[in-house]
Each structure stands twice: as C-alpha cells, then as structure tokens.
Structure 1
C-alpha cells in the first residue's frame, strides 16, 4: 500500500515538472497584444461584426468603445440583433448618435435560427454577409459584452499585417472583482492556457490551434479559404473551431503549402464586462461547454476526472496524510515525512505554475496555493456538464438549448 501511495505522489510531482518544462510554457503570461508595434504602412478595410441577443445592459459601453476606436483606416460596425426582446437595437442606435457616428453603425435584424446552426454563429454569418459589400480586408468578430481599449483594433490589424497572420485573437481580461471571480476566473484562464499553450498556438509548425471568441480578427481571404462561417455552424466552442479550421486548411503559395498562421495572446487593456458575481454563474458558464470540449466522450470524461485528481488533488492530500500520520506513527517510522515532503513538492510546483496568472489578474499571492480546491470545483463542474448533456440540458445559452452535433 505504501508503495502505491508513494508512486502516485511521485507521479503527480513528475507530471508537474513535465508541465512546467515541456508544455509550451503555458503558465507564462508573456504572449500579450499590447507589446505589438502599431506602425502601419497600409490601412486595410475592416468590418466589425457583433452578434447581440438581449444585451441592453452592456451594449452601450461595448458599442461606444468600438465606435471610438482610434484606427485610422476605414471601419464599420455591423451589429446583428439576434431577436432581442430588451431593446438592444434601440440602445445601439442611441449610442451611435451620441458619439456622432451613426453612419458607421449598421444594425441588422436577425432572421429566425435555421436548423443546424448555433445562434451566435448564425448571427455572425448574417453580419458577414451584410458587411461583404464593403469588400473588407479583415473582419473583427467580437462579443457584445467586451469593452475595447481605444487602440485594440489598431493593434490587432498591426499584428496581422506585420506578421502576415490569417487570424489574430486576444483573450480579453475577464472581470475579476467579486470573491468568486477572484477565486475562479484566473483559474479559467490558466486551464485554457494549459489546454492550448499559446506558444504552440502561435507556432505554425505546431498543430495546436485556439482562439478567444471575445476578440478575433480574421482575414477575409482566410475565411473564404476555409469555406466561411458555415463550416463551423454547429460548433458550441466556435472560437477554437474557427482557429482550427484556419490553421488546418493553411495556404498555398508558389506550389508550397504552409499551415494558416494564427496568433493568440492576452490583453491587459481590453476587458469583458460580463459579471460573474456568484458561484452559480461561473458554474453555469463552465458546465455549458465543458463536456463539449471532451467531444461528448464518456471515456474522455473518465480520463479527465482521473487526471484532475492525480494532478491537482494528490499533492495536498499527501501533505495532510503526512501530517496526521506523523501524529499517529510509531516511534522511528519516518514514512510520514516522505508523504509530506513529496506532497509539498507537488503543491509548490503547482503554485509556481499558477502564480503568473494570479499576478496578471492582480489577485492575492496566497490564491496560488488554492489551486487544488479550485480544480476540485472545476472537476465537479465538468461532471455536471456531462450530466446536463445526458439529461438533454447541455449547451443552454440565452434561452436556447443546443444538442450535440450527433443529434442535429
């Protein structure tokens, strides 16, 4: 029994060493858009597409930030009102008039949702179709709950042009103000980076592809090359599906083929307005798509649950076990020291990996040591995501419930 327990402890610590040194340095926060040089030799035409469904509370701030971008080139904003019932379109019109740019805002009344489409992607499709008359060089796909820094569009375009990228995306700074946000939101970003190491995403020779749906700049040619938004029309995790399509299709040039060039990073200035003030709100946000991320596979779910326990929970349990065993151990028995030391090593490695994200979100240093408890909550959310899917409640968002692609 001691051999098995010790083996699990050493395996957990070894996994963390592997993650720290061989997982694309995912734990670093150095991939940031704001370090981009923004000098532009050309000024591509950009059309911004904003799908909005019942966003009256946030659309005024979000849309104002878009219309007041300091981008010196031509850009227009296409807001697709996805059958809202709260006056979203009226608020949007008021904002455009207030900032003196009604000519740059185009409001599209969304058509009814056809079979086989997610609501957001159908709205994006309609926005792109309407914007195509401007023959844009790039589309900026963004959510209605994002407040953009005035220079965000300029930086995105500069990044794309200077590095010849087909897609540029930033994970905007998520709101981190309430207790539950500080406890769980930085970990959400940390887990996303562990799943999709940004350095791997940004390496055209690596197959890993991902994007963050809050802010995606995509070249029109790249979108046409993959067959348009319709190729991912059923995707619930649409941002990563789009990035995967762009990187996988690649591009042909002078008889040579290369992967599509994409870039994903963090933003320190552009941020999400969406509040997650309670555990229930964050729980629903994660449970909505966690099982989708696992391709609705019971085997992957089982592997994930076992992996989360091994990676995040073995270390703190070892420390506790070693401490209590020390009180009960017979004189001369030093096994509890090995348990405590091995578990503490794994826990410290875990905290070391998590600390840059904690610092990025300006949270308390001690939260870095809370990752095991946070991971336990996320494990329960993932399990609940599977249960919701099996009960026919998976993918619920904005009054719609989306079945898995196999059931469409």
Structure 2
C-alpha cells in the first residue's frame, strides 16, 4: 500500500476508536438526570458576572428575574468595569420585570494574578455568602433560562446528590458561519471531555460549562473557589476539577432549557471565541500544539485528501487510500449527525466537518501565535499575556 493508504488506514482506526471507545461522545443524550421535587427547596443566589453586556442583557436578565422558584432566591449581578451602562440597565430591568430581588455591585479592577471573570465571580460569591445560601448558580450574562430552569437544576442536584450540576447552553446558530462553526465547537468539546465519563461516580474526566453551573456552597468553600483557580482562562474546567479534588460529585450535560443569546455575526467573532483560549487548553505547550496539529491533520483532513487523490489518480495504492479514506469520512460524518440534529441544522453540514476542523486547527495555531506575541487571551478590552491553563491537580 502507498504511504497515503497507510495514513488513511490510521485515520479509519482512529475513527473506529472514537466511535466506540471515547465514551460515546457523539451521542447527545446526556441531559439533566432523573429528578424529583425536594420536600423543601434550598436557598439559592444567582451570580452573574457582566462586562459590557448591555446588548444581550435585555434578553438574558429578565429570564433570571422571572424564575418560578418555590424557595428563597435572588440575583447578584457583578458589573465588571462596564463602559456601556450594563449596571444601570440591569437596575432598570429589575424595576421593569418584578421578580427575584436584584443586587448590582462592582469589584473594581482585578488584582494581580486574577483573570477578569473569576475576579468578578469572587466578588459575587463573597456577596452571596453573606446570605448563606445552600447553592450558587453561576451563569453568564448572555445566558437565558426558561422559567423552571433553576427548579430543574436544584431538583437534579438534590435527587442525585450532586455538588456541581452544569449544562452546556445551546449556543445561537443563525448565520452561515455560526452553522458551520458553533455545533462543531460543542462536538469537539464533548470529544475532549466525554460527558459520560464525567458523569460516572468514579469519573474518568472532569469538566463543566461555565455558562450554567449550579454549585453547592459548602463544596465551593472546601474547594476554595474561585481563589484556587484564579489564574485560569478556561475557568469552567478548572472549577469542576477543584470540586472533584474536594471530593464533590460533578455532572455535565447538554441543555434543553438554557440558551445563549450572544450573536456571532461575523466570522472574526467566532475566530476570537475559539482562539482566545485554545492554546491555554494545550497548557501553552509547543509539543501539545504540534501533536494537536498532526492529530487533526491525520484524523480529520487525511480522509477527504485521500479521496481527492484517488479520484485524480489511477494507481492501485491510491485507490485503496481513496476507499479507506471514504469509509473514515463516512464514520466521521456519522458521528457529527446527532449534534447537528440537537442544533436543528441540516445534515448536509456533516460531510463538511473536515473543513470546519481545518478552521479550528488554524484558530489553535493563531492562539499560540498570539500567546507568544504577549497578547495571550484577550477579552472585553482586557489582555492576559501569560495566563495559566486549567490546573490538573
């Protein structure tokens, strides 16, 4: 066989492993676990870090204020140095939508060694602890919740004895670029952190989705959250690992009633969403970057390339490479279909996954380039030149 045929065979072997041996990551059936209403509903404080979120706040904040929760609950919005009137808008929305009480506070500029969102969360959690709630709901300012979202999260945590319950919000998919990039973002995340592995009592992996995290307060104190993860750019994964180290149980799944309202109208916006933290996920390691690039090339790009070469050439070795590459491409596309269905997208996007993977490869390389230029993870006017990845300890 030709060298290309062997590479295609390696890609097919990788896809057969991913299909059967990577926690069935491609399935989308990890939703909130079985739950029943508790005899008494615990108190909850909802903490919302917000920086320049006036554009999305009218869609997200009212959904929190209008939560139909039988127990005590309130909202703490941390205005993290916004310049667009986020705090004032939040107060106006609270007056307009009578519901849960709202507190708006500001922590000032982050101290050295803190990333911005975690600094805001620290301030919000400190305020929340003065109310002595049993649970904290940490949710981003661009996340909208159905009216029963808090009830469902708390019921799942109480029924299953979970210390952290996280749902990956359904991201907005409206433009052509969003259709191409966004479902793949969740697909790749699930491939890296298979939900089934995370949700086992003796977990093989640990992660969370920062847009929606219900956290038991005493567990957060044992895990020293957020101080123990203060330098993390990928804060959701770091928080989940801290909870696990403190002996807590973690659950992560796809959301049914929690949605992101943040638009990504331009391709450049999606590029920044991925590239700002991709190299941090690789622990700023050149070796891991090289391995990731090579792995993406073999697993995602080799199959369509082998098919292309086989169509253009007549050599027997190339024909073998083409057929093996086509089979690997079919398996790859098949694993992507459940995620496209979850996002209610056309299944014709499935064969385009190699092209999307190429985009992610380039975004990851760009993330490394920005890191070594000293720009690090830039977000909302702040740049973290040498931020830490999520700790493994």
Structure 2 length as normaliser, TM-score?
0.96
CA displacement 1:180-206 (0-9 Å, x = unmatched): 000110000000000000000111312
1:73 — aligned with what?
71
1:111 — aligned with what?
108
1:406–1:147: structure 2 CA closer, same or farther, 3 Å change rule?
closer
Which among 61, 64, 69 is matched to residue 63 of structure 1? 61
Task: Assess if the C-alpha contact under 8 Å between 1:38 and 1:154 holds in 2.
Answer: no
Matches within 5 A, 1:6-405: 6-33=5-32, 36-101=34-99, 104-250=101-247, 260-326=248-314, 329=315, 334-405=316-387
Which has the bigger relative contact order, CA under 8 A and spacing at least 6? 2
After the TM superposition, list the runs of 4 or more consecutive aligned residues in structure 1 that deviate by more than 4 angstroms. Answer: none
Alpha-carbon distance, 1:38 to partner: 4.5
* Aligned partner of residue 175 in structure 1, secondary structure: coil
* Aligned partner of residue 276 in structure 1, secondary structure: coil
Alpha-carbon distance, 1:403 to partner: 2.3
Structure 1 length as normaliser, TM-score?
0.93
Task: Assess if the C-alpha contact under 8 Å between 2:46 and 2:137 holds in 1.
Answer: yes
Task: Assess if the C-alpha contact under 8 Å between 1:179 and 1:277 holds in 2.
Answer: no
Task: Assess if the C-alpha contact under 8 Å between 1:202 and 1:264 holds in 2.
Answer: yes
Where do 5+ consecutive residues of structure 1 fail to align? 251-259
CA displacement 1:223-264 (0-9 Å, x = unmatched): 0111231000110000000001111221xxxxxxxxx21100
What do you get for the CA RMSD once the two structures are aligned? Answer: 1.4
Where do 5+ consecutive residues of structure 2 fail to align? none
1:256 — aligned with what?
none
CA displacement 1:117-175 (0-9 Å, x = unmatched): 11111111111111112110000001000111111111110110000001000000000
Tell me how far apart the structure 2 counterparts of residues 386 and 271 of structure 1 sit (CA, whole Å): 30
* Aligned partner of residue 263 in structure 1, secondary structure: strand
* Pair member with larger Rg: 1
Task: Assess if the C-alpha contact under 8 Å between 1:36 and 1:155 holds in 2.
Answer: no
CA displacement 1:375-406 (0-9 Å, x = unmatched): 00100000000000011112000100012247
